[in-house]
Amino acid sequence: MESDVIVVGGGVTGLGVARDCALRGLSVIVVEQGDICRGATGRNHGLLHSGARYAVTDPQSAAECVSENAILRRVAPHCIDECDGLFINLPGDDEQYRSRLMEACRKVGINAREIDGREALSIEPKLNPEVTAALVVPDAAIDPFALSIANAIDAHRHGATLLLRHRVDRLIVNGARVTGVAATNLADGTAIEIHAAMTVVAAGIWGQDLLASAGVVLPMLASQGTMLVYGTRPCRHVINRCRVPSDADLLVPDRRVSIMGTTSVRVEENEHIEAPIPTADEVRAITAGAALLVPELATTRVLRAYAGIRPLVATDGDATGRNLSRGIVCIDHDKRDGLDGLVTITGGKLATYRLMAEQASDLVCGKLGINAECVTAERPLPGSDRPATDEMRPPNATERMAISRHGAMARDIYMRGAQSGALVCECMSVTRAEVEFAINVLGATDLSSLRQCTRLGMGQCQGRVCACRAANLLVELGCKTPEAALQDLKLFTGERWRGQQVVAYGTSMREAARARHTLLGLCGLQRANDNLLQRE
């Protein structure tokens, strides 16, 4: 296989690079060892940073965030909940830090205003009643799955090829130049080579080992961040503790649930990188922090815990990575290492993915002698490129949920008839029509990709019933044999349980027992997951 550009990594940054390069007329092949959003993109808190969180400690990253925040609100509004954010002071917090934060926000162009505790409680009545003051900033919540899918769709529309479930084993080096990658098709074990004039490594923490296959040393620190999903949304705003960024000080609303985090724990090389595991200590720290921000969360059910790995370029002796810059790292390995045809893009934030893609694409085009401007700051993503609703027929409640996930693309889901409107997932209001749309239009092939496309299984029941229905639909629609669907169901329920196990006490444990009964008894799924049957 040949192309102008190979992009290694199917997270939002890699897909952003693919889209940007394709829009500039380059042929692109994206190689990803799993599904899209497999790594850090699918394991973050979904915060569209205003930049305020880093305004004091990392003004460069803050400036990048505030600029990209405004751009994404224009080009990807269907992915964004414009909820704004509050930085709140609680008794014992350093009051001087609020002044420093206000001044830092002013310097980098973040629109922040100060309010007293009474006004903060009038805006968010469920906050800790002891709140003394707050800053209002333009934070927002963003759906990383919808954002990634929209980038993948537009890249594909402009000629890019996506090779999912293909593992890149090494870079192909000829002399002082990288000319492609050697990969393995994980479905059948076939070895393939892909050649291109330029290779862009956007593989997050996995990029370190891939670069090493070509003799390139890029020290990276793997920092694990754990988050908890609460089963309610007590606050409309993003809630930050008004202090230097630390553990358990951030609550992000996410449709019908809330995400609380995060931690920063250094993970040694190859330790839990593939499947990061939240620890009981992290869960305890986060639940304590949540109760300080919003007291009712002390008695709210935690649906699951999950963790992601931040790929931080190591520049000092910081043991956790909490103090390392979240700024963008774009490397031309010809200049750095004398190895042409190779670019690495890493660091940054979810909020700055587009800028990261622009910088990498600018470098690629410069290397190839292509004189084409970046248009991603003006060109809306699919789903945000036209009105999402039809004025002649306002959407019903279920259709509005589909619009929140797909924007204008949800028009293709509007179908008449009871069968197509039948709910597959009650928690997230996913209909049969949306499942068919995810399969036929978005390319979903299994329960995991259906979850990414529709959020099926991410609600209160964590897939206890809807996963069985969806597996049946995959068979009915010809995507899987019954045997393959059964195996897929085992994998899906096992993954759901992995996120619940560390928080399985009280109500959560009762729900886990109910899930076991449903899967093994009612549905006849024998030994759906060993951990579910034999919990330590």
Q: Which CATH code of 2.40.50.140, 3.40.605.10, 3.30.420.40, 3.30.9.10 fits the domain covering 80-141+222-309?
A: 3.30.9.10
| Mean pLDDT (whole number) for 139-160 | 97
| Mean pLDDT (whole number) for 348-362 | 97
pLDDT digits (tens, 9 = 90+) for 251-276: 999 988 999 999 988 887 555 677 78
Least confident of 174-183, 390-399, 403-412, 441-450: 390-399
- Measuring CA to CA, how many Å separate 467 from each of 305, 492, 530? 19, 8, 18
The predicted structure's pLDDT at residue 222: 87
The predicted structure's pLDDT at residue 462: 87
Percent of the chain clearing pLDDT 90 (strictly above): 71
pLDDT digits (tens, 9 = 90+) for 45-60: 999 999 999 999 999 9
Indicate the Cα dihedral angle 247, 455, 468, 226, nearest 10°: -10
The structural domains of the chain, with segments of one domain joined by +, span 2-40+145-219+326-368, 80-141+222-309, 397-533
| Cβ pair 92, 47 in contact under 8 A | no
- The answer on pLDDT for 507 being more than 80 is no
Pairing of strands 133-137, 140-142: unpaired
DSSP track, 143-187:
-HHHHHHHHHHHHHHTT-EEE-SEEEEEEEEETTEEEEEEEEETT
The predicted structure's pLDDT at residue 342: 98
Mean pLDDT for the chain?
A: 90
| Mean pLDDT (whole number) for 30-52 | 94
The CATH superfamily holding the domain 2-40+145-219+326-368 is: FAD/NAD(P)-binding domain (3.50.50.60)
Residue, of 412 and 292, whose pLDDT is higher: 292
The predicted structure's pLDDT at residue 270: 55
Residue, of 368 and 266, whose pLDDT is higher: 368
Confidence of residue 8 (pLDDT cuts 50, 70, 90): very high
Q: Under DSSP, is residue 260 helix (H, G, I), strand (E, B) or coil?
A: strand
- The answer on pLDDT for 65 being more than 90 is yes
Confidence of residue 119 (pLDDT cuts 50, 70, 90): very high
The predicted structure's pLDDT at residue 530: 47
Q: Which residues pair with 254 in a beta bridge?
A: 257
The predicted structure's pLDDT at residue 85: 98
- The answer on pLDDT for 317 being more than 50 is no
| Mean pLDDT (whole number) for 333-350 | 96
- The answer on pLDDT for 303 being more than 60 is yes
Tell me the pTM.
0.92
- The answer on pLDDT for 213 being more than 90 is yes
Enumerate residues 6+ apart whose C-beta is below 8 A from 9: 30, 31, 32, 39, 201, 202, 203, 204, 206, 207
HSE at residue 89, side-chain half, CA atoms within 13 A, is 21
- The answer on pLDDT for 535 being more than 70 is no
Domain pair 2-40+145-219+326-368 / 80-141+222-309, same fold? no
Find the radius of gyration of the CA atoms of the chain.
23
